[in-house]
């Protein structure tokens, strides 16, 4: 028995030739190197991602104390990344009895892109890619085929003869397809109707971007580049704080402004007064007057998204 | 008399306009702002003959384009007190109350403006608002919005993003 065993062990060693040994070792080395290469992005991530950030809970599960700590951390990060001291991260909550709605007068809009630029500035969007949560579409008068619209029109002056302009942004749908498709529930609808994203929970799968029929969601392919003097220091956790690379962002009706009573930035930038905003539950509000008295429509009504963004004529 | 009017205009434009290039006709109160000088309308118009005809304007009003239907100066301005505007019933109002003058014809727009649906408002949606009056956005002499240069279009998403960032940033 014992001899048998010894023979077996000898045989086992005999079978490993010098060639096989070198093959095995080099294979192991190659696979280690490949694993290392594959892990590089993960290792790089450590530069931007702290342990606190990595283990941060979903926004809706955070306590007030945890939030305070997170906001401090974000303010610190804004300071190191963008060189801005006065960043103030807030989290204004939905007001009771308030549901926001937006209306846009297509007869008045001249397509100047003032709203688009104001949005980019207010919301600390990436300047390198010229990101904005608003797109202004140029369409032929009498048509409403968005597929044939132009976003890159650049004539000497606007409005052009025979064209009309349709700014488009998040419609804050009551039946939002983007919320339904999110596999990790990183996006949801708040009590005042605003659809928000927890940028720390978003995994960047871009399902929501594909699901949105209004092209309202944008993906951060790079870490946003914003010059220090252009940073807007009034930040909301769910709205305009600088986003990390690889997450989706969207219009939040400037919730850091509107939940504090102010008008959104795009409305204040519009030179024609085409944009109207308010509380749809208030019967005295401007928005209520429009819905009662003007010819109002919603875009792609057949999809049953039930937007809170109305277009109207007069 | 016509010659006299022309003479006054010529003297005024060469002497005064030559000295103070920046002429602004203020909207708040009808005055002519020339640098640090503020002139009442009547300081010139006291001596200038009234002229109800549509014509090419001269002197201080040379650059003014009037394109507002069949309207002409005295449709809105009072002919005896040019610092005031006049309503159809003959009562006079200051230019800060010009809304009343506009509303005489544009009643439907005024109704929308009162409801906050026409025109621009800034400030708070549920509080204090800054409400812009008609002539803050519309030139009363030429009311439609004039064509303007649009801001630059968004950048193409395809291809590498240029690192030279800030050419668009300092608008």
Domain residue limits, chain A: 19-44, 100-313
Helices A286-293 and B107-115, axial angle in degrees (round to 10): 140
CA distances to A121, A125, A233, A243, B102 from A86, in Å: 16, 18, 6, 17, 46
| Domains in chain B, number | 1
When pLDDT is cut at 50, 70 and 90, the band that residue A9 belongs to is low
If chain B, 171 residues long, is cut into consecutive pieces of 10 residues, what is the mean pLDDT of each piece?
A: 57 49 57 77 86 88 90 92 91 91 95 95 93 93 93 75 47 42
For B3, the token pair is 């010659």
A237 and A59 Cβ atoms separated by less than 8 Å:
yes
A58: CB partners within 8 A, 6+ apart = A185, A186, A198, A201
Whether A135 and B148 lie within 8 Å, measured CB to CB: no
Asked whether residue B101 is domain-assigned, the answer is yes
Whether A129 and B155 lie within 8 Å, measured CB to CB: yes
Asked whether residue B69 is domain-assigned, the answer is yes
Q: Enter the DSSP assignment of B15.
A: I
Query: What confidence score (pLDDT) does residue A35 get?
Result: 87
User: What end-to-end distance do the CA atoms of chain B give, in Å?
Assistant: 51
pLDDT (mean) for A165-185? 97
- Report chain B residues whose CB lies below 8 A from the CB of A259: none
Asked whether residue B86 is domain-assigned, the answer is yes
Asked whether residue B90 is domain-assigned, the answer is yes
A150 and B150 Cβ atoms separated by less than 8 Å:
no
Which of A279, A268, A256 lies closest to A118 in space, CA to CA? Answer: A268
Coil/strand/helix, residue A312: strand
Vertex B156, ends A123 and A227: CA angle to 5°? Answer: 40
Asked whether residue B51 is domain-assigned, the answer is yes
Which H or E run includes A197?
strand A195-197
Q: Is A17 part of the contact surface with chain B (CB cutoff 8 Å)?
A: no
A157: CB partners within 8 A, 6+ apart = B147, B148, B149, B150
Distance, in Å, from the CA atom of B85 to the CA atom of A36, rounded to the nearest integer, reads: 81
Distance, in Å, from the CA atom of A293 to the CA atom of B1, rounded to the nearest integer, reads: 54
Distance, in Å, from the CA atom of A313 to the CA atom of A309, rounded to the nearest integer, reads: 14
Count of CA atoms in the C-beta half-sphere (13 A) of A213:
15
Q: What's the CATH number of domain A100-313, 3.30.930.10, 3.40.190.10, 2.60.120.620, 3.30.70.20?
A: 3.30.70.20
Digit-coded pLDDT (tens) for A229-272: 999 999 999 999 999 999 999 999 999 999 999 999 999 999 99
Q: Is A97 part of the contact surface with chain B (CB cutoff 8 Å)?
A: no
Asked whether residue B68 is domain-assigned, the answer is yes
Whether A230 and B169 lie within 8 Å, measured CB to CB: yes
Query: What confidence score (pLDDT) does residue B163 get?
Result: 52
Which of A111, A225, A227 comes nearest B150 by C-beta?
A111
Domain holding B66, by residue range, is: 2-105
Q: In the predicted model, what is the mean pLDDT of chain A?
A: 92
pLDDT exceeds cutoff 80 at A45: no
Query: What confidence score (pLDDT) does residue A251 get?
Result: 97
Distance, in Å, from the CA atom of A81 to the CA atom of A69, rounded to the nearest integer, reads: 18
Ranking A20-29, A136-145, A286-295, B160-169 by mean pLDDT, the lowest is B160-169
pLDDT (mean) for A38-48? 67
The more confident residue out of A48 and A51 is A51
B41 and B30 Cβ atoms separated by less than 8 Å:
yes
Digit-coded pLDDT (tens) for A107-139: 999 999 999 999 999 999 999 888 999 999 999
Digit-coded pLDDT (tens) for A82-100: 999 999 999 999 999 999 9
Query: What confidence score (pLDDT) does residue B36 get?
Result: 75
Q: Is B119 part of the contact surface with chain A (CB cutoff 8 Å)?
A: yes
Digit-coded pLDDT (tens) for A189-239: 999 999 999 999 999 999 999 999 999 999 999 999 999 999 999 999 999
Asked whether residue B159 is domain-assigned, the answer is no
pLDDT (mean) for A27-56? 79
Distance, in Å, from the CA atom of B80 to the CA atom of A244, rounded to the nearest integer, reads: 67
Distance, in Å, from the CA atom of A239 to the CA atom of A252, rounded to the nearest integer, reads: 6
Query: What confidence score (pLDDT) does residue A212 get?
Result: 96
Whether A151 and B163 lie within 8 Å, measured CB to CB: no
Distance, in Å, from the CA atom of A140 to the CA atom of A143, rounded to the nearest integer, reads: 6
Q: Is A270 part of the contact surface with chain B (CB cutoff 8 Å)?
A: yes
Asked whether residue B121 is domain-assigned, the answer is no
pLDDT exceeds cutoff 50 at A103: yes
Query: What confidence score (pLDDT) does residue B100 get?
Result: 94
């Amino acid at each position: 028995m014992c001899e048998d065993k010894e023979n077996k062990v000898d045989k086992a060693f005999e079978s490993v030739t010098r060639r096989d040994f070198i093959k095995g070792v080099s294979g192991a080395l190659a696979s280690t190197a490949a694993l290392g290469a594959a892990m590089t992005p993960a290792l790089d991530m450590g530069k931007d991602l702290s342990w606190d950030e990595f283990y941060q809970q979903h926004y809706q599960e955070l306590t007030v104390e945890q939030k305070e700590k997170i906001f401090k951390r974000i303010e610190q990060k804004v300071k190191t990344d963008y060189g801005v001291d006065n960043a103030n991260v807030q989290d204004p909550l939905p007001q009771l009895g308030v549901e926001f709605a937006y209306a846009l007068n297509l007869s008045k809009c001249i397509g100047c892109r003032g709203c688009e630029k104001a949005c980019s500035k207010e919301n600390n969007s990436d300047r390198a890619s010229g990101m904005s949560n608003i797109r202004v579409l140029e369409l032929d008068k009498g048509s409403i085929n968005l597929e044939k619209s132009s976003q890159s029109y650049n004539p000497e002056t606007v409005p052009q003869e025979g064209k009309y302009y349709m700014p488009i942004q998040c419609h804050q749908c009551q039946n939002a397809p983007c919320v339904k498709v999110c596999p990790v529930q990183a996006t949801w609808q708040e009590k005042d109707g605003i659809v928000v994203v927890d940028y720390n929970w978003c995994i960047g799968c871009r399902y929501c971007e594909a699901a949105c029929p209004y092209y309202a969601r944008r993906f951060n392919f790079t870490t946003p580049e914003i010059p220090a003097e252009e940073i807007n220091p009034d930040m909301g956790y769910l709205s305009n704080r600088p986003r990390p690379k690889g997450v989706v962002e969207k219009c939040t009706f400037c919730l850091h402004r509107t939940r504090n009573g102010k008008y959104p930035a795009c409305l204040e930038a519009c030179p024609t007064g085409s944009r109207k905003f308010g509380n749809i539950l208030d019967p005295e509000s401007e928005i209520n007057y429009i819905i009662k008295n003007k010819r109002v429509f919603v875009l792609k009504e057949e999809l049953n998204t039930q937007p809170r963004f109305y277009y109207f004529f007069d | 008399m016509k010659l006299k009017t022309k003479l006054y205009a010529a003297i005024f434009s060469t002497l005064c306009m030559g000295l103070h290039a920046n002429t602004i006709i203020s909207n708040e109160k009808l005055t002519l702002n020339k640098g640090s000088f503020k002139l009442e309308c009547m300081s010139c118009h006291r001596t200038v003959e009234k002229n109800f005809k549509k014509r090419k304007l001269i002197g201080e009003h040379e650059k003014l384009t009037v394109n507002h239907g069949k309207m002409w100066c005295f449709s809105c301005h009072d002919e005896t007190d040019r610092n005031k505007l006049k309503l159809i019933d003959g009562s006079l109002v200051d230019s800060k109350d010009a809304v009343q003058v506009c509303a005489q014809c544009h009643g439907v727009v005024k109704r929308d403006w009162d409801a906050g649906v026409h025109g621009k408002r800034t400030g708070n949606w549920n509080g204090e608002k800054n409400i812009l009056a008609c002539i803050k956005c519309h030139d009363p002499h030429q009311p439609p919005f004039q064509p303007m240069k649009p801001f630059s279009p968004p950048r193409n998403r395809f291809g590498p993003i240029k690192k030279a960032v800030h050419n668009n940033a300092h608008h």
